[in-house]
Amino acid sequence: MHPSHTTAIIPERTTVSYRWSSGTGTHSGDVTEAPDGDSEFIDLPLDQVRSAFIVPQVNIYTGEGFDEVEESCFGFMVRDGEQKGRPFEPRTVRMKSELRGVGRVALPLVFRREDDGRWRATGLHLYLRGISSANRVEDNQASVSTVVRALVERELLTVRYLIGLMSDGATAVDLWAGGPVPDEPVTYIGLERPECLHPGSRVVTLENLRDLIPG
């Protein structure tokens, strides 16, 4: 496992400048040597974040690249106030993704605060070339600012929006929580097809998600 450093840069709402999370969050500390692997964490109290965006960044300081090590991952947890300061708890993990790009600086995703105050994560899976060693957030702010700004200002097509279009002609729309399935044909949208669905049902999973886009 190579030494790498995880930081979060928080762009100002109305300018292109970026600032490091040291004034808002708490870092677990830089790991400078980890032959058996290790993890770094950043705790960010979202009620203290004034910006509309948070951009996590993983920098390779020295050693192998993301595509050379046996395992390299990024993820985020969501915790309530009672869980503050507790050790790593897998049940609080909301997303985990491998880091396998050829660059030395990884931008796995960006968090964006919506108008209603909720936060939404948008996957980036971007890798900047960086330099051979000693990559730091202070040295690549301009590149990150340019790339991320170009992406977040695009209006993305979401599954929620497409479901809304379909709902106009539906009799009812229900959130299925794993209970009994209806006896009649339905349109089901999810990660995997549930068992015992009516054979006349329309099923949309990750494999055919593009079918939601109107022709």
State the CATH number of the domain containing residue 20.
Answer: 2.60.60
- Write down the pLDDT at residue 215: 59
- pLDDT at position 10: 57
Structural contact between residues 140 and 130, judged by C-beta atoms closer than 8 angstroms: yes
- 15-22 long-range contacts, Cβ below 8 Å, gap at least 24? 16/145, 16/149, 17/141, 17/145, 18/55, 18/141, 18/144, 18/145, 20/137, 20/138, 21/54
Per residue of the chain (215 residues), give pLDDT as tens: 445 555 565 554 433 333 445 457 787 777 777 778 788 888 888 888 888 889 899 988 888 899 998 889 999 988 887 777 777 777 788 888 899 988 899 999 999 998 999 998 888 888 988 888 888 887 877 778 778 877 777 777 778 888 887 777 667 888 887 788 889 999 999 888 888 899 999 999 888 888 887 75
144 shares its domain with 163: no
Domain of 179 in residue numbering reads as: 159-212
Q: Are 130 and 31 in the same domain?
A: yes
Locate 19 and state its tokens: 């600032």
- Nearest-angstrom CA–CA distance, 102 and 81: 38
Q: So what's the pLDDT on residue 151?
A: 78
**pLDDT score at 107:** 92
Q: How many domains does the chain have?
A: 2
Query: What pLDDT, on the 0 to 100 scale, is given for residue 86?
Result: 73
Question: If we measure between CA atoms, which residue out of 127, 119, 55 comes closest to residue 98?
Answer: 127
Q: Domain check: are 141 and 113 in the same one? A: yes
Task: Among 131, 152, 173, identify where a domain stops.
Answer: 152
CA-CA distance, 159 to 78, in Å (whole number)?
22
pLDDT at 17: 35
Indicate if 163 and 122 belong to the same structural domain. Answer: no
Q: Tell me what pLDDT residue 13 has.
A: 42
15 lies in the same domain as 114? yes
Q: Which residue(s) pair with 10 in the sheet? A: 19
How far is Cα 215 from Cα 211, in angstroms, rounded to an integer?
A: 8
Cα separation, 20 vs 191, in Å, equals: 36
Query: Is 181 found in the same domain as 146?
Result: no
Indicate whether 23 and 127 sit together in one domain: yes
- What pLDDT score does 110 carry? 92
Specify whether 136 is located in the same domain as 166: no
**Domain final residue, candidates 119, 152, 185:** 152
- Give whole-number Cα distances, 2 to 8, 97, 109, 133, in Å: 19, 18, 22, 11
What burial class does residue 111 get, using C-beta atoms within 10 Å of its C-beta: 0-12 exposed, 13-18 middle, 19+ buried?
A: buried
On whether both 9 and 81 belong to a single domain, the answer is yes
Same domain, yes or no, for 11 and 71?
yes
Mark whether 112 and 47 lie in a shared domain: yes
Q: Which of 152, 172, 201 is the last residue of a domain?
A: 152
Contact by Cβ (8 Å): 34, 3: yes
Q: Are residues 32 and 97 in the same domain?
A: yes
* CA end-to-end span of the chain: 47
